[in-house]
Structure 1
Amino acid sequence: MIQDQAASALAANPTVEPHDAVGGPPAFPVGFDFGAASPPATAPSECIKAKRIICVDKTTYTATVYEAGKPQWSFYVRPGDARGTRYQTGEGYGHITHKSRNHVSSIYGTPMPYAMFIAWDNSPATGEAFHLSYQFQSEGYYGASHGCMGVGTEAAIKRLWDTSPKGTRVFVYRT
């Protein structure tokens, strides 16, 4: 799987900044569509019991929007886990606290269009967000975020933005 190859490359040399793309990013398979992932065959009960929730499987790098327990649509994300535990994307329940359409990271100075920030129920830390990731588009899974969940297509992040008001529940897990 393309995501596993990239994570292994980063793990082998963690001193390399992922955005340097040493050796070049792996090519996406023919027909790869950032905004058209398959929903999981089985979902955690947290996803199918909710009225509306965004569930992210960090094993398959897939986010799925559920309504009334049924998957509505899925898209690919790039979390920060490939960088190691320091930048690992949170897990468990959270909710969208605020949105910033033309956000720029105050820490890294990088654009984060359509940023939708998440507060985790089990941690007071904030700063992780869903957002459009130009690096995901250009580097694929070779790169990694600093904890955010990068979305590789404007169509998918805009759809998520338009349909996910503040307060929308998020559940991040591993299969």
Structure 2
Amino acid sequence: MQARLKQIGWFSGEVTSFYGTRTTTAISGFQRKRGFPVTGVADQRTYDRLLSMTRPPTQDELNNVTPQPPATSPGTAKWDADPRCLTGRVICISKTTRSLTWVIDGTAQYSMDVRFGSEAEPTREGVFSITWKKVDVISNLYGSAMPYSMFFSGGQAIHYSADFAANGYNGSSHGCVNVRNMTLLKQLYNTAPVGTKVVVHW
């Protein structure tokens, strides 16, 4: 539980085997943020929400070992090496660093800034694949343009956002992964075919 809280910035310091003051404080903050009763105790509702927002901890995380990331170019400074992104060709998307990285056999090629859905309309985490692509898309629900869309989970897609380009993180998507660098997104669109693995993680 401490390792999962650490993934999303609620727990600091080393992961331990006991439920002490730091764990209680972390759980209290997590509960307060979500409008839950603030008890500092990980009841089922709290634990279920934590599970839904995080991934299973790695052995390194459980043993307080800092992994050495692969060497990257200046364009990939935010590379966040989730274990599921290290094999094959993967679009690796980190909610922690708010970045999308194109990865080939564990080596980051380039990264771009991204933003996600709000807590009410969250971007789903997990392992997916690109199911279909289209250059010119207009959202049926919201009427907004979604250029260079790569759909990976139902109606959720990676796509360019003019609003993100103009306003940065002062806003959110309706669940899609917004990109503001059109040049890099076009490059990715032309590189990643339907079927390409997509990992969205914390």
- Partner residue of 1:63? 100
Write out the 4+ residue segments of structure 1 that deviate beyond 2 Å after TM superposition.
Answer: none
**Normalising to structure 2: TM-score of the pair?**
0.61
Q: Please give the alpha-carbon distance, in whole angstroms, between the structure 2 residues aligned to 1:96 and 1:115.
A: 10
- Partner residue of 1:95? 129
SS in 2 for 1:137: helix
**Contact 1:92/1:172 (8 A) holds in 2:** yes
Q: Which sections of structure 1, spanning at least 5 residues, go unmatched?
A: 1-10, 12-35, 120-125
> Pairwise CA RMSD of aligned residues?
1.4
Tell which has more relative contact order, 1 or 2 (C-alpha 8 A, sep 6+).
1
- Partner residue of 1:79? 116
- Residue among 107, 116, 126 paired with 2:141: 107
Q: Please give the alpha-carbon distance, in whole angstroms, between the structure 2 residues aligned to 1:90 and 1:38.
A: 24
**How big is the shift at 1:157?**
1.1
**How big is the shift at 1:38?**
1.6
1:43 aligns with 2:81: yes
Q: Please give the alpha-carbon distance, in whole angstroms, between the structure 1 residues aligned to 2:170 and 2:163.
A: 9
Q: Please give the alpha-carbon distance, in whole angstroms, between the structure 2 residues aligned to 1:97 and 1:147.
A: 16
- The amino acid across from 1:168 in the alignment is T
- Partner residue of 2:51? none
- Residue among 146, 159, 165 paired with 2:187: 159
SS in 2 for 1:142: coil
- Residue among 102, 109, 132 paired with 2:160: 132
SS in 2 for 1:53: strand
Bigger proportion of residues as strand: 1
Q: Please give the alpha-carbon distance, in whole angstroms, between the structure 2 residues aligned to 1:55 and 1:45.
A: 10
Q: Please give the alpha-carbon distance, in whole angstroms, between the structure 1 residues aligned to 2:188 and 2:97.
A: 19
Aligned length: 129
Q: Percent identity?
A: 39
- Partner residue of 2:27? none
Q: Which sections of structure 2, spanning at least 5 residues, go unmatched?
A: 1-32, 34-74
- Partner residue of 2:201? 173
**How big is the shift at 1:37?**
4.8
**How big is the shift at 1:68?**
1.2
**Normalising to structure 1: TM-score of the pair?**
0.70
- The amino acid across from 1:46 in the alignment is R
- Partner residue of 2:91? 54
**1:86-123 superposed Cα distances (whole Å, 9 cap, x missing partner):** 3110101001000111000000000000011013xxxx
**Contact 1:54/1:63 (8 A) holds in 2:** yes
